[in-house]
Structure 1
Amino acid sequence: MPAGVDDPTSPSGGNTYDRRVCRELPRIGWQVHEHTVAGDWPRPGADAREELARTLRAAPDGSLVLLDGLVACGVPEVVVPEAERLRLAVLVHLPLGDETGLAPDVAAALDAAERRTLRAAAAVVATSNWAAGRLVDHHELAAERVHVAEPGADIAPLATGAGTGPAAGGPPRLLCVASVTPRKGHHLLVRALASVADLPWTCECVGGLGQSPGYVDQVRGLIGELGLGDRVRLVGPRTGPGLNSHYATADLLVLPSRSETYGMVVTEALARGVPVLATAVGGTPEAMGQAPDGSVPGFLVPPEDPVALAAALRRWLAGPGERHRSKAAARRRRTALAGWETTSRNLARALEQIRQETLEAA
């Protein structure tokens, strides 16, 4: 019985992951009852807490319950009392205290709440090897209880970029797919783009604008201040065909995140043969990976470093050889990406371990 939160107006990698595993688990033999819990997670109001409590109380004794960490980790007072009665697994997309922009006391409180929840859970599932290791070390969890189920990717038609089609001959099209929040580092990208304004390019930033409105205003102000208003666009959230159309015409995905547990948009781009320029944070290097021949489908640069980001952009924009090399490597990497069935089978192994441990203890 997965329980999670899903907001179609604010698409995220976590929401996508939850939807896909709920769809895939029944295809490999699991019975799934999905419960969506409304609320301002991970710090919900009283009504949302009670709704989660009711959902858990309604589960029969011994039920195997998979909780999204955004819901579970902020409310140990609701979740932990059920840990003796239910078999609880928690799927952690992003450690709560890692969200950028939190006041220190808020981050510390969320971190402590998360620790209580994860220590009470029968199993924890992370979305990258890096994230699993961090959870084990940071929360002092038993390594054998922490599992990895990396996000899958859907192979899509190869992107045309600016080199073919109606826009043939136009400037290279850069694409950033991320909610406009401090953690995603759009201000760093804008400063880096200003440093390569002498070269031809356009950049579209696709992602939610409602989570950090003050930061959105800051980014918009910076775009205007640096004279990039006609080249950098914040286009808001896109899903389905709308998002696909942005990927289809992209030449390079740019992800300047300051923190990232995996970086699903990296594999979404690679699934279309689009090379990637990203910061080397968290699980992003795992998502980038290598093509079967060992070539790297893009570039990784240090986080919080607009100078390094600008240097990599200049190298790619000014070097036709680099563009060709990275594109060819991305297309080779595309053929080696794992799908969502692999994700669900990895997740199912973690859930099966809980089930077997319960049977052995009976």
Structure 2
Amino acid sequence: MRRVVVAVPGSLDTPTGGYGYDKRIVAELRTLGWQVDVIDLGAGFPKPDRGMREAAMAKLLAVPEGCPIVIDGLAYGVMEAEATLLSSRNPLIALVHHPLAFETGIDAERAAALQDSERAALVHARAVIVTGNTSLDILTQDYGVPRVRITVIPPGIDAVSLPPRGRRAGESVNLLSVGSIVPRKGHEVLVAALDDLKTLPWRLTIAGDTTRDLAALARLTAMIEVAGLQGRIVVTGAVGDARLAELYGQADALVLASLFEGYGMVFAEAIAHGLPVVATDVGAARAVIPPDAGILVSPGDRRGLSDALHRVIADDAERERMAVAARQAAVHLPQWREAGAAFARVLEACR
């Protein structure tokens, strides 16, 4: 049986887009007949202490020689020394959702250190898989990774194109934003934009992990309170797949104010659920969201985001036209089985 090891920092069930991608790829590979062993490297990456590094390396050294190892970029990017040693005994495949140095909210010194570490580690990868063209461009232009070693495998969707929830007269428009509470997701810009629209009937649910950056959570919570929007904005924390599907089903539109995305799985998920999208022009937004199904604004543009949200909230007919376009586009989105097959081809080439 064809065998591969997938190494991730922490639990594969962690409810974020990156871990969700990893989990679905594991499932698809198993469906294709691969033996997939998942290794938990520890939840401290990309800031592992010495003990965690040693424990992670011990697990990786226990993998049979010659067996391909896929390492999630959240860990791989700070494993230069480990990659140097491992690459002589196992084919290494780096799975880069987005380069670590491009995380918003870290200082210039930390970003430079991460870029140096990630660039050095990637030299030892037999293959590099990225989820979108944004990361592809960064790795080739800024990190010097040869294009021939990189494969772009975007996330798939499940065939779940659902009609949007009908809104009765007098009801608020339900907005949904999905993403961990970290600076890169731009939640503060979103709250500022909605603060300009208090006279309109809307409610916002933010679904995402609240434990990754407690300072960002504190700033967001304070901002909501100062604006007096506690009764209109709910931050749920991390949610499972079933609950997230419910939230998509209850939403009238998706809004994502990210400052940077390597891909942005949420874009495709929203289109798959037949939702109009208001988002920043990052990651795969322009490729995934049809012009008649969404409105894109520049990252960090509070006024532009506010104007776009005004259109979607205030004009029921416009919102329904966008929803129809989203449902029509959903049938053309890539499926997870296609992503799994592409991943398998990379593994075959590395054996």
TM-score, L = length of structure 2: 0.94
Q: Is the 8 A contact 2:133 2:283 kept in 1?
A: no
Q: Is the 8 A contact 2:12 2:23 kept in 1?
A: no
Asked if 1:350 corresponds to 2:337, the answer is no
C-alpha distance in structure 2 between counterparts of 1:8 and 1:187, whole Å: 28
Q: Is the 8 A contact 2:130 2:154 kept in 1?
A: yes
| Aligned partner of residue 34 in structure 2, secondary structure | coil
Asked if 1:49 corresponds to 2:58, the answer is no
| Aligned partner of residue 21 in structure 1, secondary structure | helix
C-alpha distance in structure 1 between counterparts of 2:343 and 2:13, whole Å: 27
C-alpha distance in structure 1 between counterparts of 2:72 and 2:117, whole Å: 14
Q: CA deviation at 1:235?
A: 1.6
Distance 1:159-1:38 versus aligned 2 partners, 3 A rule: farther
Asked if 1:104 corresponds to 2:108, the answer is yes
Say which of 61, 67, 71 aligns to 1:67: 71
Distance 1:25-1:10 versus aligned 2 partners, 3 A rule: closer
Asked if 1:151 corresponds to 2:155, the answer is yes
Asked if 1:126 corresponds to 2:127, the answer is no
Which residue of 2 is the match for residue 201 of structure 1? 202
| Structure 1 unmatched ranges of 5 or more | 356-362
Q: CA deviation at 1:40?
A: 0.6
| Aligned partner of residue 229 in structure 1, secondary structure | coil
| Aligned partner of residue 120 in structure 1, secondary structure | coil
C-alpha distance in structure 1 between counterparts of 2:160 and 2:141, whole Å: 37
| Aligned partner of residue 282 in structure 2, secondary structure | coil
Q: Is the 8 A contact 1:263 1:287 kept in 2?
A: no
C-alpha distance in structure 2 between counterparts of 1:138 and 1:287, whole Å: 25
Q: Is the 8 A contact 1:159 1:249 kept in 2?
A: no
Q: CA deviation at 1:352?
A: 2.1
What is the CA RMSD across the aligned residues, in angstroms? Answer: 1.7
Q: Is the 8 A contact 2:200 2:313 kept in 1?
A: yes
Q: Is the 8 A contact 1:131 1:283 kept in 2?
A: no
C-alpha distance in structure 2 between counterparts of 1:130 and 1:108, whole Å: 19
C-alpha distance in structure 2 between counterparts of 1:174 and 1:162, whole Å: 13
Which residue of 1 is the match for residue 251 of structure 2? 250
Asked if 1:283 corresponds to 2:284, the answer is yes
Q: Is the 8 A contact 2:12 2:20 kept in 1?
A: no
Of residues 321-330 and 174-183 in structure 1, the stretch that sits farther from structure 2 once superposed is 321-330
Distance 1:208-1:162 versus aligned 2 partners, 3 A rule: farther
C-alpha distance in structure 1 between counterparts of 2:56 and 2:267, whole Å: 33
Q: CA deviation at 1:124?
A: 0.4
Kindly provide the CA deviation profile for residues 310-336 of structure 1, in whole angstroms up to 9, marking residues without a partner as x: 010112222233212211111111111
Of residues 117-126 and 237-246 in structure 1, the stretch that sits farther from structure 2 once superposed is 237-246
Say which of 126, 129, 138 aligns to 2:142: 138
Q: Is the 8 A contact 1:269 1:276 kept in 2?
A: yes
Kindly provide the CA deviation profile for residues 241-278 of structure 1, in whole angstroms up to 9, marking residues without a partner as x: 21111111000000000010111111111111112111
Of residues 244-253 and 47-56 in structure 1, the stretch that sits farther from structure 2 once superposed is 47-56
Asked if 1:217 corresponds to 2:207, the answer is no
C-alpha distance in structure 2 between counterparts of 1:314 and 1:260, whole Å: 24
Q: Is the 8 A contact 1:162 1:173 kept in 2?
A: no
Which residue of 1 is the match for residue 25 of structure 2? 21
What one-letter code is carried by the residue in structure 1 that aligns with 2:299?
A: P
Asked if 1:322 corresponds to 2:318, the answer is yes
Q: Is the 8 A contact 2:70 2:94 kept in 1?
A: yes
Asked if 1:33 corresponds to 2:50, the answer is no
What one-letter code is carried by the residue in structure 1 that aligns with 2:316?
A: P
Which residue of 2 is the match for residue 266 of structure 1? 267
Aligned residues: 347
| Aligned partner of residue 247 in structure 1, secondary structure | helix
Of residues 102-111 and 52-61 in structure 1, the stretch that sits farther from structure 2 once superposed is 52-61
Asked if 1:90 corresponds to 2:85, the answer is no
What one-letter code is carried by the residue in structure 2 that aligns with 1:81?
A: L
What one-letter code is carried by the residue in structure 2 that aligns with 1:185?
A: G
Kindly provide the CA deviation profile for residues 174-224 of structure 1, in whole angstroms up to 9, marking residues without a partner as x: 001111111101110001001111111111111111111111111111112
Which residue of 2 is the match for residue 241 of structure 1? 242
Asked if 1:117 corresponds to 2:87, the answer is no
